[in-house]
């Protein structure tokens, strides 16, 4: 199956991404935020997200809940950071890219005591050092980590990290923005306290809101802690719980309806495992084809996620990324510039309503656009 060419190009980006025609069609109806039918839809979405986060732990469904939050994915991250850390708390951020560092920036702006442990944009989180850091009286109340760091596409070892963090009796916050829905994550098995993702990533909806899957016991302790009115995680949850799915402030109704359709299509595809397999196939076709054309990947294969892949730019003096980008766009593909500060690179996303046949078409187009080799 190939993506239906009803748009001028495919977005080969880490989100927003190419959506199905039926997801876009779902936004063609207006909804009232106070309407019972709409609020029931919101609650059904919340329940389905919790179910996705508990692939092997159905018995734990009452232990976890879900909160939808207006805004970008970063707004949901800020909601968690600003709402769950008490005034005397201290946050440790494990960073190996832009989005880990952004968590630290959020904490700084909110005057939260924070240490950003920067392992470098191309570096791996040192698990032995982390275990040593969190041994004894370490002083941290919370640890935050990005699962898939889309700066490079690195997939951080969340299972090992979670075990170390939870053995230290510390609250764990996981930014799963670019991974949730595209790979199995069991929040109960990993004992994650707060997991954050967004509508416009692997579930293949459109931008407009993020969501937080939280351990009820941890969330209930956060009442009155929020440093923001509109991003108050506890109050948003309480309103949704007691109001039958009602949001405190105006909700992104069209985006919510599109997300509902995206969840239907995720189930129809075979669930998270089936989608993960498609993303893996997309990635393999892409990497094999690009390497055959002479492009080099930044990361080693064993740490590379199937969600977005970073390639080094060619070193030929005639090559210019902007020209390469525009040529591909004219042929129906939009790629992403690099984000690594000390490397000349670009990125190609493998997620969204994109299939291995689309990646094969991309490779054929790129093979005809190697103008710097002419």
List binding-site positions for substrate: 347
Of 275, 45, 50, 53, give the one whose Cα is nearest residue 185: 53
Structure token pair of residue 141:
């109340």
| 42 neighbors 66 (Cβ within 8 angstroms) | no
Which H/E stretch holds residue 175?
A: strand 171-175
Longest dimension (CA), the chain: 65
| 240 neighbors 246 (Cβ within 8 angstroms) | yes
Of 197, 354, 181, give the one whose Cα is nearest residue 263: 181
Query: What pairs with residue 337 in β-bridges?
Result: 346
CA–CA distance, 75 with 209 (Å, rounded to integer): 8
Helix (H, G, I), strand (E, B) or coil at 21: helix
Sheet holding 194-198, edge to edge: 64-70, 209-215, 194-198, 171-175, 142-146, 90-95, 113-118
Q: Which residues are annotated as a binding site?
A: 347
CA–CA distance, 163 with 191 (Å, rounded to integer): 8
CA–CA distance, 347 with 195 (Å, rounded to integer): 25
CA–CA distance, 116 with 100 (Å, rounded to integer): 8
Structure token pair of residue 255:
């985006």
Structure token pair of residue 125:
């989180």
Residues 6+ apart with CB under 8 A from 311: 290, 295, 296, 297, 298, 345, 346, 347, 348
Residues 6+ apart with CB under 8 A from 1: 355, 357
Which H/E stretch holds residue 364?
A: helix 356-368
Backbone φ and ψ of 52, nearest 5°: -65, -30
Query: What pairs with residue 69 in β-bridges?
Result: 210
């Amino acid at each position: 199956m190939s993506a239906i060419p009803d748009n001028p190009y495919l977005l080969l980006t880490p989100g927003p991404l190419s959506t199905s025609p039926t997801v876009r069609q779902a936004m063609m109806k207006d909804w009232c935020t106070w309407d019972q039918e709409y609020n029931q839809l919101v609650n059904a979405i919340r329940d389905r997200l919790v179910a996705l986060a508990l692939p092997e732990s159905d018995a734990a469904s009452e232990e976890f809940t879900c909160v939808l939050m207006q805004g970008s994915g970063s707004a949901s991250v800020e909601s968690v950071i600003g709402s769950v850390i008490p005034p005397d708390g201290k946050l440790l951020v494990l960073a190996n890219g832009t989005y880990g560092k952004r968590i630290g920036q959020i904490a700084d702006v909110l005057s939260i005591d924070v240490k950003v442990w920067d392992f470098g944009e191309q570096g791996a989180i040192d698990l032995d050092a982390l275990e040593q850091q969190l041994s004894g009286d370490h002083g941290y109340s919370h640890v935050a980590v990005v699962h898939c760091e889309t700066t490079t596409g690195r997939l951080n070892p969340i299972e090992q990290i979670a075990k170390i963090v939870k053995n230290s009796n510390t609250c764990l916050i996981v930014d799963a923005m670019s991974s949730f829905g595209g790979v199995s994550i069991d929040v109960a098995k990993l004992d994650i306290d707060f997991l954050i993702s967004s509508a416009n990533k692997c579930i293949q909806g459109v931008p407009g809101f993020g969501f937080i899957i939280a351990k009820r016991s941890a969330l209930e302790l956060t009442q009155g802690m929020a440093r923001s009115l509109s991003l108050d995680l506890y109050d948003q949850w309480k309103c949704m719980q007691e109001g039958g799915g009602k949001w405190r402030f105006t909700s992104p109704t069209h985006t919510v309806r599109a997300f509902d359709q995206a969840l239907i299509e995720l189930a129809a595809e075979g669930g998270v495992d089936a989608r993960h397999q498609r993303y893996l196939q997309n990635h393999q076709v892409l990497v094999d084809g690009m390497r055959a054309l002479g492009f080099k990947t930044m990361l080693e294969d064993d740490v590379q996620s199937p969600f977005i892949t970073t390639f080094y730019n060619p070193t030929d003096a005639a090559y210019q990324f902007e020209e390469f980008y525009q040529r591909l766009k004219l042929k129906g593909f939009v790629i992403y510039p690099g984000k690594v500060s000390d490397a000349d690179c670009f990125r190609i996303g493998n997620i969204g309503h994109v299939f291995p046949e689309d990646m094969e078409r991309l490779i054929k187009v790129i093979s005809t656009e190697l103008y710097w080799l002419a």
